[in-house]
């Protein structure tokens, strides 16, 4: 079925008729000019418009359901990085004529799956025609407790630097996908099957990342309030520089403490890439990078999948990576930059 046959409003109805609200704060969802959220004595109104700026994904190897899921989850990750809980999502899409209704339904099935898993309400958005393919714009609203919202500017000297999970896997997943795409274009065989054996974890980290809600829950359970926090979307080097710059401090991160999965290491060797560079600059890991007071060391060690990788120093000491042989190398932000030529 062509989207033109269905029309914009019937398409919206078809995509959203299975939406269920999970939170009492969602007073009004899809169907009006604004969504209305109740927060105590005040109501919050939210709306969104579409901006068609370009494509940041490749549909040659990105399933639409995975794309929808990832588009939502990476926004949830931003809320968790503030020590908050995501509650509402607004979705804006720009659609070119080459897409059919069923394809957009597939995209929305991923969005709704993410919303269901993380208990987030899809409350509205906007749709528009696009001359540049598929464009997605997400707005996520969340809740934070007074006095417990965590910013990037709170790191203090002697604080521990911690990161969840492992780094570099998503980037190596992207390298695998790009390699197989090049082979596919060369052989021009419609029956071509990509070689992803034993690399499933890397593909999942790239195509279907998860936000670290579990880490936020564990920190609260252990009564740990990070002093600064950010999610790793552009690479560890870029993110720690954001924290240090906004906190007016320096840092030391130890190369041998950076958590890296075995599949990431194998893939980096296969592609002849420096493993530390991959972990520092790959991006799209969506792990949580945070600082915490030194007094919380014992409690942090009890939390599974949280790794202490360094500490905060005074600003004059700079931002440095301490290599395995004890050298100090100043950080340079080399992660993802969409405006870079």
What CATH number does the domain located at 160-340 have?
Answer: 3.90.650.10
In terms of pLDDT, which residue wins out, 130 or 332? 130
Segment 97-113, tens digit of pLDDT: 888 999 999 999 999 99
CA–CA gap between residue 24 and residue 27 (Å, rounded)? 7
Q: 260: buried, middle or exposed (CB in 10 Å: 19+, 13-18, 0-12)? A: middle
Please state, in angstroms and as integers, the Cα–Cα distance from residue 127 to each residue in 46, 244, 334, following that order: 16, 39, 34
Q: Give the three-state DSSP class for 135.
A: strand
Which band of pLDDT confidence, cut at 50, 70 and 90, is reported for residue 333? low
Segment 283-312, tens digit of pLDDT: 899 999 999 999 999 999 999 999 999 999
In terms of pLDDT, which residue wins out, 2 or 269? 269
pLDDT at 102: 94
Most confident listed range (18-27, 49-58, 120-129, 169-178)? 169-178
pLDDT at 169: 97
Tokens of 198: 């034993």
CA–CA gap between residue 82 and residue 101 (Å, rounded)? 36
CA–CA gap between residue 266 and residue 146 (Å, rounded)? 45
Mean of per-residue pLDDT scores for the chain: 89
The residue count of the chain comes to 341
Which band of pLDDT confidence, cut at 50, 70 and 90, is reported for residue 48? low
pLDDT at 37: 86
78 has a pLDDT exceeding 60: yes
Q: CB within 8 A of 196, min separation 6: which ones?
A: 176, 180, 203
**Cβ pair 310, 257 in contact under 8 A:** yes
CATH 3.90.650.10 residue window(s) in the chain? 160-340
Segment 216-236, tens digit of pLDDT: 999 999 999 999 999 998 899
Report the candidate in 152, 341, 106, 176 with the shortest Cα–Cα distance to residue 251: 152
Give 3-state DSSP helix, strand, coil % of the chain, rounded to 5: 35, 25, 40
172 has a pLDDT exceeding 80: yes
Q: Give the three-state DSSP class for 27.
A: strand
In terms of pLDDT, which residue wins out, 5 or 71? 71
pLDDT at 121: 95
The pTM assigned to this predicted structure is 0.86
How many contiguous H segments (helices) and E segments (strands) does the chain have?
11, 13
H/E run at residue 38: strand 35-39
CATH 3.30.1330.10 residue window(s) in the chain? 3-145
**Which CATH architecture best describes the domain 3-145?**
2-Layer Sandwich (3.30)
**Cβ pair 243, 155 in contact under 8 A:** yes
336 has a pLDDT exceeding 50: no
Average pLDDT score over residue span 210-215: 97
């Amino acid at each position: 079925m062509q989207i033109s046959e269905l029309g914009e409003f019937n398409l919206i109805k078809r995509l959203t008729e299975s939406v269920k609200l999970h939170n009492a704060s969602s007073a009004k969802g899809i169907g009006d000019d604004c969504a209305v959220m109740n927060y105590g004595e005040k109501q919050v109104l939210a709306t969104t418009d579409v901006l068609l700026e370009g494509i940041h994904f490749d549909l040659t190897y990105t399933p639409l359901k995975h794309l929808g899921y990832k588009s939502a989850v990476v926004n949830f990750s931003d809320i968790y990085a503030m020590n908050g809980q995501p509650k509402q999502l607004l979705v804006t899409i720009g659609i070119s004529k080459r897409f059919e209704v069923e394809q957009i339904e597939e995209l929305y099935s991923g969005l709704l799956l993410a919303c269901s898993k993380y208990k987030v309400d899809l409350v509205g958005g906007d749709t528009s025609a696009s001359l540049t393919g598929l464009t997605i714009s997400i707005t996520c609203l969340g809740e934070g407790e007074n006095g417990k919202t965590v910013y990037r500017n709170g790191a203090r000297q002697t604080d521990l630097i911690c990161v969840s999970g492992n780094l570099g896997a998503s980037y190596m997943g992207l390298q695998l996908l790009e390699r197989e795409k090049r082979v596919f274009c060369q052989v021009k065989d419609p029956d071509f099957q990509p070689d992803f054996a034993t690399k499933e974890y890397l593909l999942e980290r790239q195509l279907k990342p998860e936000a670290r809600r579990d880490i936020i829950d564990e920190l609260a359970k252990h009564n740990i309030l990070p002093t600064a926090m950010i999610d790793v979307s552009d690479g560890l080097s870029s993110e720690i520089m954001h924290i240090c710059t906004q906190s007016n401090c320096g840092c030391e991160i130890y190369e041998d403490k950076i958590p890296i999965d075995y599949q990431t290491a194998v893939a980096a060797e296969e592609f002849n890439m420096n493993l530390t560079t991959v972990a520092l600059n790959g991006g799209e890991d969506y792990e949580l990078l945070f600082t915490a007071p030194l007094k919380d060391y014992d409690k942090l060690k009890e939390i599974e999948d949280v790794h202490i990788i360094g500490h905060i120093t005074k600003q004059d000491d700079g931002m440095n990576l301490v290599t395995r042989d004890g050298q100090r190398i100043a950080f340079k932000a080399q992660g993802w930059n969409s405006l870079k030529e």
